[in-house]
Structure 1
Amino acid sequence: MLIKPVIATALSLLLPFSASITYAQASKHQPAIVDYTTRNHPVIGREGMVSSQNFIATEIGAEILKQGGNAIDSAVAVGLALAVTLPRAGNIGGGGFMLVYIADENRTIALDFRETAPLLADKDMFFEIDQNGKKVKASREDYHFSYRSSAVPGTVAGFDWLLKNYGTMSWKQVAAPAIKLAKDGFIVSDDLASILRTKHKTLAKHPSTRKIFIKPDGSGYQAGDTLVQKDLAWSLEQLAKGGADAFYQGAIAKRIAADMQKNNGLISLADLAKYRVAVRKPISGTYGDATINAMPAPSSGGTHVVQMLNILENFDLEKMGQNSAAAYHLITEAMKLAYADRSKYLGDPDFVDIPTDILTSKAYAKDLAKSISLTNATAASEIAPGNLAPYESDETTHYSVMDKDGNAVANTYTLMFSFGSGVVIEGTGIIMNNNLGNFTLSPDIPDAFGLMGSADNLIRPGRRPVSSMTPTIVTKNGKPFLLTGSPGGSKIISTVMQQILNVLAFDMNLADATDAPRIHHQWSPDALNLEPGISPDTIKILEAMGHNTKTSKTMGSLQSIMYKDGLFFGYSDTRRPGAKTIGLN
């Protein structure tokens, strides 16, 4: 009679937290909630859910919810923990975008905490004059891996705004788990050891970075080693005591400004004191009976996800089938059209007027859809940004959190490249972003991800660079139905759009939708990137239609939550190791 309790206890000790919870609950409710006709199965929860790219951060977020915190408290705690455990992307030295659904107010807020160009920055700062007097692009080291490549960080300001306006916990409470991790250290995983080995040259360049991520004898950290970050613990302790003031005006600010001045960087105390988050109105569109709430400019993601969905709504994708050549062809053509428009019309809305209403209109999308051949690919050279005049009347990580009261946070934030600029501010442990590289150097020069941009995205003091980050909250009947987002540079937009299509058009469960192979085309260069897993026969059909196919490594790392029929369903993308979703029960 005691066998079952003993087994259950043993499993709870041996299995990861999410697995033990899911096992215990699913065994009790399987007939109602588990579909055995599907290949992959989401995690299930009843009292909330956390999904992130790092299992330690997910566990911290779940613990905050268990302690009575809401989704906002949990999201800030996860973000701070990722700064410790996922140093290549989690950060307090970068910035990002966040979609937040506030249950009591029944509304979604778009929080823009994107980095801004310093006061001393200018559009010609990454050009040099060669011996013939010609202006040429500066070295990659200066552009991407120097103190000069950093924009003013916005992450801490974003977290602070969110916590003060909608949180229930203090900075001290939400920062405590991250402080402990930084101070005591955590076990290096195979994934982190591999990344540290790959980025050894970048991390060895600056002494303040080298002393944290490379051992004194010059060797790299191995899986099983303990990584301690004492200086980062100090910075997190300052935040616990003073919140954003510590970062933008206090002790942290002084160390950032001093190290920048010492190393030819641009960020000053005036830049830090001037930084403000921007609360914006989400981009809104529909697909069937669902409403897409996504990030507006300077993120290009929301605008063009909605634009692509509007185009594709004119075709019967469900009838074609999710992994058919016919569906892949149409999705590719929609991507080309949207990315072409992205190259011309997107910028910082505080500096330029962006024709968002037209780009996201059903009428414009319907006319674009008419231009698509069902049988032949259109060469990128034959596609130009659309004429909007007739319609007038523009290494990242993601996590999702939802609580039992219906509050929801979808957050995507970044350092841009893996480990950003590779610069750690002396005495702080803070890795700095290299997001000045997200600006357009010139309309004829692609950015760091190969994307073309316009003069509206040139470097200018105070301006926020255009981004592909696409945190998204899909609602049904006004309530959150799907939270999703991904890293991936220029592939973020296409990754998120395909996730939404898989759920809404192809009626896939969250796990199957996430694991399905992805494609990507960004107009320029003219190449259709295909993930492993797409049938060779399908590829041959696409090539016969005129597509220039290219085998790609995996794209993105979706961290998604769905709320349906009174249950939370969550799934962490298997494309990146170490991710985890926890459902509270």
Structure 2
Amino acid sequence: MLSLFGSGSHIISGYTGNIVADEPQAAIAAQTVLERGGNAADAAAALGLALSVTLPSRASLGAGGACLAWRPGDKNGGQAFIFLPTGDSPADTVQGPTGHADRPASAPMLPRGLFLMQLRYGSVDFAELTQPALHLARSGFEVGTQLASDLSAVQAPLLADDSARSVFARQDGSVMKAGDILVQPRLAGSLTRIHSAGPGDLYIGSLAQAFVSASDAAGAGITMAGLRNALPQAVMPLTITVQGTQVSFLPPPADGGYGMAVAWRAMENGRSGTSGVGAQAVAGWRASESRSNTPSVLAARARQLIDSGHIPSGGTLPNLPASTSFAVVDRKGEAVACALTMNNLFGTGRVAGSTGIVLGASSAHLPWPLLPAAIAHRDDQFIATATASGQADAADAAAAALSGALHGDEQAMKPATVAGRANAISCPSGLPGNNGRCFGSVDPRGSGYASGTARH
């Protein structure tokens, strides 16, 4: 198996792929994986793990989310990997040993979700992909503008937690600012365990025991049974084919993908007044569908609605939790697009003590964020991908970015929605084989970063 960081590793020259993300240092970590011969799934897993260090407000190890993956040769639109924050199952509602679950948390879905995706589509040992995140946590990194903004937004309640204050406070008692150096030795310890024992250690091993104990002290109510039962799922994506181009979308319960599909189809059909179509579709979906159904049942129902053209609408979406998104394509045309969430900014606002993991919020009494992502392919070649974050605008922003990416229109890949923050990659001539026309785009109002950009 390929070794990325061992003594026999080497750097690949020329085009290695494109990466778009909301946080530059995590994007650079993923670019390093591509440059050392890893594929898109390897780089995406490394990026997600790095975000747990550099953007723990939206993507700690305690986070959840969804990823879409596709590679040349896939006949059914690739696969979707669903690992949303937990909170509805009986195991997750049991209080911890002390019974003081005043701030219910989600089980940490991110490591298992990324592991399953990378197991199916990656090319290296998962342990290799923990190294960039481990280095960032152990050696420290400059706090970016997005993390600094998130810290400023919730500084009072966040610093009320002793463990969170020990991580995110400056010596003068204020939260860290952009440019400060953040070192996370406790989180580095957890990443070291995941590196040496695998992600399963966080669910059934010694790290799991330490996490449950620390979570209980933080009022999270997480149990060993809840960790064991917190399993990601691999399901078929939603697919739409237009003029020979097949587009795969994240399916419900990641219903931002459904809203994105509805909005994109409306754009492609030339309908006027499409602003907000995706959000309206999701509002109608949530009013008419029970999220207690299995992902396969929800996906089948969504396909029926899209095929029939009868899209339930009505109502509005409430304020939604914060999220973040990214996408990767490698030189062979394999692509991964993900959206991640803590189900609240900094989740519960507490850190699981000795593990250094920011606890994601339980989904039991909170609305899910919109997690949209899509990958377009034609004639067994990658063409475009898009994903987004940003309250109720996320699905519509992602749809607009996808439309622009399919047409190779860089300006259209930067939709001017109020809150939507889109990340997109366009290879209008197809990959593999035409990398000279590939380019990435991120929202110009944010702090995102597009690496590996090449457009001739």
TM-score bin, normalised by smaller chain: 0.7 to 0.9
Give the alignment's Cα RMSD to 1 decimal. 2.9
Specify which of 172, 194, 197 is matched with residue 239 of structure 1: 194
Q: CA shift at 1:84, angstroms? A: 1.0
Aligned to 2:68: 99
Q: CA shift at 1:492, angstroms? A: 1.6
Q: CA shift at 1:204, angstroms? A: 0.8
TM-score with structure 1 setting the length: 0.67
Does the 8 Å contact 1:256/1:425 carry over to 2? yes
1:580 aligns with 2:450: yes
Q: Distance in 1 between matches of 2:342 and 2:443?
A: 20
| Distance change (3 Å), C-alpha of 1:405 and 1:501 | closer
Q: CA shift at 1:397, angstroms? A: 0.9
Question: Which protein shows a greater Rg?
Answer: 1
Does the 8 Å contact 1:307/1:338 carry over to 2? no
1:414 aligns with 2:341: yes
Does the 8 Å contact 1:298/1:348 carry over to 2? no
Aligned to 1:119: 90
| Distance change (3 Å), C-alpha of 1:171 and 1:514 | same
Q: CA shift at 1:408, angstroms? A: 0.8
Specify which of 298, 302, 323 is matched with residue 396 of structure 1: 323
Aligned residues: 424
Partner AA of 1:233 in structure 2? A
Q: CA shift at 1:402, angstroms? A: 0.9
TM-score with structure 2 setting the length: 0.84
Q: Which sections of structure 1, spanning at least 5 residues, go unmatched?
A: 1-24, 26-44, 126-141, 318-326, 369-377, 384-394, 442-446, 449-465, 519-553
Aligned to 2:286: 342
Q: Distance in 1 between matches of 2:414 and 2:112?
A: 34
Q: CA shift at 1:351, angstroms? A: 8.0
Q: Distance in 2 between matches of 1:361 and 1:67?
A: 42
| Distance change (3 Å), C-alpha of 1:147 and 1:209 | farther
1:65 aligns with 2:65: no
Q: Distance in 2 between matches of 1:575 and 1:416?
A: 23
Q: Give CA deviations for 1:362-385 in whole Å, capped at 9, x if unaligned.
A: 4436xx8xxxxxxxxx9x67x9xx
Q: Give CA deviations for 1:497-550 in whole Å, capped at 9, x if unaligned.
A: 22234445xx461x30132322xxxxxxxxxxxxxxxxxxxxxxxxxxxxxxxx
Counting only pairs closer than 5 Å after superposition, residues 367-386 of structure 1 correspond to structure 2 as none
| Distance change (3 Å), C-alpha of 1:157 and 1:574 | same
Aligned to 1:455: none
Counting only pairs closer than 5 Å after superposition, residues 411-450 of structure 1 correspond to structure 2 as 411-436=338-363, 439=364, 448=367
Q: Give CA deviations for 1:183-222 in whole Å, capped at 9, x if unaligned.
A: 1111223443343222211221211111100124412323
Partner AA of 2:340 in structure 1? Y
Aligned to 1:557: 421
Specify which of 508, 512, 527 is matched with residue 411 of structure 2: 512
Specify which of 465, 486, 505 is matched with residue 388 of structure 2: 486
Does the 8 Å contact 1:297/1:349 carry over to 2? no
Q: Distance in 1 between matches of 2:341 and 2:412?
A: 24
Q: Give CA deviations for 1:28-65 in whole Å, capped at 9, x if unaligned.
A: xxxxxxxxxxxxxxxxx843111111111111111111
Does the 8 Å contact 2:21/2:423 carry over to 1? yes
| Distance change (3 Å), C-alpha of 1:59 and 1:481 | same
Does the 8 Å contact 2:405/2:426 carry over to 1? no
Does the 8 Å contact 2:85/2:342 carry over to 1? no
Partner AA of 2:382 in structure 1? P
Q: Distance in 2 between matches of 1:498 and 1:160?
A: 30
Q: Give CA deviations for 1:400-426 in whole Å, capped at 9, x if unaligned.
A: 111111111101111122211111101
Q: CA shift at 1:352, angstroms? A: 9.2
| Distance change (3 Å), C-alpha of 1:208 and 1:100 | same
Q: Give CA deviations for 1:290-333 in whole Å, capped at 9, x if unaligned.
A: 3221111211122232233444555x35xxxxxxxxx3x24446
Q: Distance in 1 between matches of 2:168 and 2:393?
A: 28
1:361 aligns with 2:325: no
Partner AA of 1:48 in structure 2? G
Q: Give CA deviations for 1:428-476 in whole Å, capped at 9, x if unaligned.
A: 111111142xx5x5xxxxx55xxxxxxxxxxxxxxxxx55201211222
Counting only pairs closer than 5 Å after superposition, residues 206-285 of structure 1 correspond to structure 2 as 206-285=161-240
| Distance change (3 Å), C-alpha of 1:221 and 1:331 | closer
Identity level (%) = 24
Aligned to 2:52: 83
Q: CA shift at 1:335, angstroms? A: 5.1
Does the 8 Å contact 2:49/2:111 carry over to 1? no
SS of corresponding position for 1:473: strand
Does the 8 Å contact 2:17/2:330 carry over to 1? yes
Aligned to 2:377: 475
Q: Distance in 2 between matches of 1:483 and 1:301?
A: 15
Specify which of 95, 103, 109 is matched with residue 148 of structure 1: 103
Q: Give CA deviations for 1:548-575 in whole Å, capped at 9, x if unaligned.
A: xxxxxx3222221112221221112212
Specify which of 245, 256, 261 is matched with residue 290 of structure 1: 245
Does the 8 Å contact 1:59/1:582 carry over to 2? no
Q: CA shift at 1:73, angstroms? A: 1.1
SS of corresponding position for 2:304: helix
| Distance change (3 Å), C-alpha of 1:223 and 1:341 | closer
Partner AA of 1:255 in structure 2? A
Q: Distance in 1 between matches of 2:369 and 2:42?
A: 26
SS of corresponding position for 1:244: coil
Q: Distance in 2 between matches of 1:291 and 1:346?
A: 28
Partner AA of 2:413 in structure 1? T
SS of corresponding position for 2:411: helix
SS of corresponding position for 1:49: strand
